[in-house]
């Protein structure tokens, strides 16, 4: 049994924390942001008033928060986690945040005597509930080895990519490829449809060749069948591409098609699509072409 | 044994024709463009002076030519194939050409009493030699059924997508997705490398998730290993994207990322890359970022 802190018990964090709880570990969390759900308290989750209190009571503290500013605040505000750290304690940030900020956070946590892993995930709510998340980790090997049994309670593909920040960098790379492959499939199926071919048959003919991908399989089918319920919301992918574009600017890298994909998501939002599945990016191309891949 | 015409015995066409020959069919070709290789004549290939002569002597005529103008000339010049057609004969264009022009060519061939299939391929020289080409077909079902046993001598994934033009449309869709997925993997791996992560490990971590694709597997590895010998030449992919963009303009469809990918290929050509493998599209991004995915 390990004393584990978990801050951020939202749509993703809660099912992840419950897998740790179910495995017999003691869970600590904080009520500083909002009250902890009564059923979690009944299951034995220990509630502290501050992140500092959580860190003081735990060997390992997990974070699952919306974005970079929330992670920074929970870590380094006056009664934040850093104030409760001591030698040997571990902070594991499973949020998807800036790779650049992550490298700085890791250094500051190390100065407080702790060790840091960035460990963002992909797989969404479904993967969180099924404990089948992909976990992309950056940080020291020894720290990774200590936390790995806990990762295995939450996910399946668990890779130590490199040092601190490399987990977040891998997540950004993942979101770039996913967005741009959705866009590619959208351009191809819309072109085919406008040229008079059946997009469902075109998709079928392309599977198995060099155009094949998980995106053509899953999101291509969504485009043809017009099933745009999330899945993964456009509003969240906008956040991720913003992270990619901001980081790229500070690094001095041009990401021309990521920039265009972000604009297409903006077009979707202008048409009420913040909550659509990201495969609905094709709708922006459809609006521009005044033509649909398929009728719903 | 079928009397088969084959016009265009180049890098792709020659090994394809040889599979037909090896299966015991009699092959007819034309010396109007250039002399037929002596070893093919020794193997029994019958040489005619004109495409018209080839069509007059054959039940089915295959074309494997560089682009739309060459196909139009071979079909409809004074001593072209159309002049040698009669009821029941079949023209099969396996070149990659304009879907719009193809629809018109099919109508003109039908007026000459023949039937038409567009049947472009993917898989390149390797696939042509191994008889493992993917063949994307447009045309009447009955004609497809007659030619299918011959397709099976040249390829493996053989799909009748729809009516005339739909085969070429599918090929264009394939080339759009392949180019844009290469571009996506390029942006992601270059971003990761510039952010300090090992692009080989990032690629490994992304395989198996939603970012996975044949392109990440094959072309992603080429980017990391700097192995840019073709493969599939940038000059050829430029031709295919030009087909996509020209067709899209005439159809009224915007393909923003295809347009950018074409510009990146232009950048490669400006740096001497017409003969590089298309995975070297990443070099255009590298030139812009003044940074390489990996050192060779």
Residue whose structure tokens are 């406008």 = A194
Which residues are registered as beta bridge partners of B293? none
- Give the number of A-B residue pairs with CB atoms closer than 8 Å: 259
Mean pLDDT throughout B61-86? 97
Strands (E), chain A: 3-7, 26-30, 46-48, 60-63, 90-93, 115-118, 121-122, 133-138, 155-162
Closest CA to A206 of B238, B246, B161: B161
Catalytic residues of B: 171
- What is the rounded average pLDDT for all residues in chain B? 96
So what's the pLDDT on residue B209?
87
- What is d(CA B257, CA A254) in angstroms, rounded to the nearest whole number? 14
Interchain CB distance below 8 Å, A99 and B195: yes
Burial A142-172 (b: 16+ CB within 10 A, else e): ebbebbeebbeebbebbbbbbbbbbbbbbbb
Mutate to test the interface with B, among A118, A122, A123, A205 (most CBs of B within 10 A): A205
Residues 7-26 of B with CB under 8 A from A: none
Chain A: residue nearest B210 by CA?
A214
Per-residue pLDDT band for B296 (boundaries 50, 70, 90) equals low
The alpha carbon of residue A87 is apart from the nearest alpha carbon of chain B, in Å, by 27
Residue A169 tokens read as: 């960098």
DSSP one-letter string for A49-96: SSHHHHHHH-SEEEE--SSHHHHHHHHHSTTSGGGG--TT-EEEE-S-
So what's the pLDDT on residue A295?
76
Give residue B47's Cα distance to chain centre.
Answer: 26
pLDDT above 90 (res B208): no
- What is d(CA B93, CA B71) in angstroms, rounded to the nearest whole number? 8
Q: Which residues of chain A have pLDDT under 70?
A: 296
Instruction: Decide: A60 and A17 in contact? Cβ < 8 Å.
Output: no
So what's the pLDDT on residue B146?
98
So what's the pLDDT on residue A224?
98
Establish whether A171 is a catalytic residue: yes
Chain B: residue nearest A121 by CA?
B209
Which of B184, B256, B257 minimises the CB distance to A176?
B184
Which one of A171, A194, A201, A239 is the catalytic residue? A171
This model of the complex carries an ipTM of 0.95
Which of B188, B198, B253 minimises the CB distance to A162?
B198
Mutate to test the interface with B, among A132, A253, A258, A277 (most CBs of B within 10 A): A253
Query: Does the CB of A216 have a partner CB in chain B at under 8 Å?
Result: yes
Chain B: residue nearest A215 by CA?
B210
Query: Does the CB of A244 have a partner CB in chain B at under 8 Å?
Result: yes
So what's the pLDDT on residue A140?
98
Contacts of residue B120 in chain A, CB cutoff 8 Å? none
Mean pLDDT throughout B191-211? 95
Which residues are registered as beta bridge partners of B268? none
Query: Does the CB of A291 have a partner CB in chain B at under 8 Å?
Result: yes
Query: Does the CB of A96 have a partner CB in chain B at under 8 Å?
Result: no
Closest CA to A165 of B197, B202, B187, B204: B197
So what's the pLDDT on residue B278?
98
Residues 169-198 of A with CB under 8 A from B: 169-170, 172-174, 176-181, 183-185, 187-192, 194-198
Mutate to test the interface with A, among B119, B188, B293 (most CBs of A within 10 A): B188
pLDDT tens by residue, B85-121 = 999 999 999 999 999 999 999 999 999 999 999 999 9
Interchain CB distance below 8 Å, A184 and B187: no
So what's the pLDDT on residue A260?
98
CA dihedral B241, B246, B252, B257 (to 10 degrees): 30
So what's the pLDDT on residue A172?
98
The alpha carbon of residue B62 is apart from the nearest alpha carbon of chain A, in Å, by 21
Residues 66-95 of A with CB under 8 A from B: none
Query: Does the CB of B259 have a partner CB in chain A at under 8 Å?
Result: no
pLDDT tens by residue, B256-295 = 999 999 999 999 999 999 999 999 999 999 999 999 998 7
- Predicted TM-score of the model (pTM): 0.95
pLDDT tens by residue, A166-207 = 999 999 999 999 999 999 999 999 999 999 999 999 999 999
Instruction: Decide: A232 and B203 in contact? Cβ < 8 Å.
Output: no
- Give the percent of chain A with pLDDT over 70: 100
Interchain CB distance below 8 Å, B187 and A172: no
Query: Does the CB of B209 have a partner CB in chain A at under 8 Å?
Result: yes
Q: How far apart, in Å, are the Cα atoms of B54 and each of B10, B84, B123?
A: 17, 8, 27
- Give the percent of chain B with pLDDT over 90: 95
So what's the pLDDT on residue A296?
61
Interchain CB distance below 8 Å, B212 and A211: no
């Amino acid at each position: 049994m390990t004393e584990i802190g978990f801050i951020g018990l939202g749509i993703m964090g809660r099912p992840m924390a419950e897998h740790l709880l179910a495995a017999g570990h003691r869970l600590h969390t904080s009520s500083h942001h909002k009250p902890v759900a009564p059923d979690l308290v009944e299951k034995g989750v220990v509630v502290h008033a501050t992140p500092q209190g959580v860190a003081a009571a735990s060997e390992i503290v997990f974070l699952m928060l919306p974005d970079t500013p929330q992670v920074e605040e929970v870590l380094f505000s006056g009664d934040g986690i850093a104030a409760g750290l001591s030698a040997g304690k571990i902070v594991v940030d499973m949020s998807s945040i800036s790779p650049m900020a992550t490298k700085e956070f890791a250094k500051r946590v190390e100065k407080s005597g702790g060790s840091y892993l960035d460990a963002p995930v992909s797989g969404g709510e479904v993967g969180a509930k099924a404990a089948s998340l992909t976990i992309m980790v950056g940080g020291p090997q020894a720290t990774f080895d200590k936390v790995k049994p806990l990762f295995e309670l939450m996910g399946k593909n668990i890779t130590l990519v490199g040092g601190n920040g490399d987990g977040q960098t891998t997540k950004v790379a993942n979101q770039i490829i996913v967005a741009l492959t959705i866009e590619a499939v959208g351009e191809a199926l819309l072109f085919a449809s406008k040229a008079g071919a059946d997009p469902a048959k075109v998709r079928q003919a392309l599977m198995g060749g060099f155009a094949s991908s998980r995106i053509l399989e899953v999101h291509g089918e969504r485009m043809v069948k017009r099933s745009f319920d999330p899945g993964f919301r456009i509003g969240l992918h906008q956040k991720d591409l913003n992270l990619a574009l901001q980081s790229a600017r500070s690094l001095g890298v041009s990401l021309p098609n990521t920039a265009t994909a972000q604009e297409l998501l903006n077009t979707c939002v202008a048409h009420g699509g913040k909550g659509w599945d990201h495969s609905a990016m094709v709708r922006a191309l459809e609006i521009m072409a005044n033509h649909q891949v398929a009728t719903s």
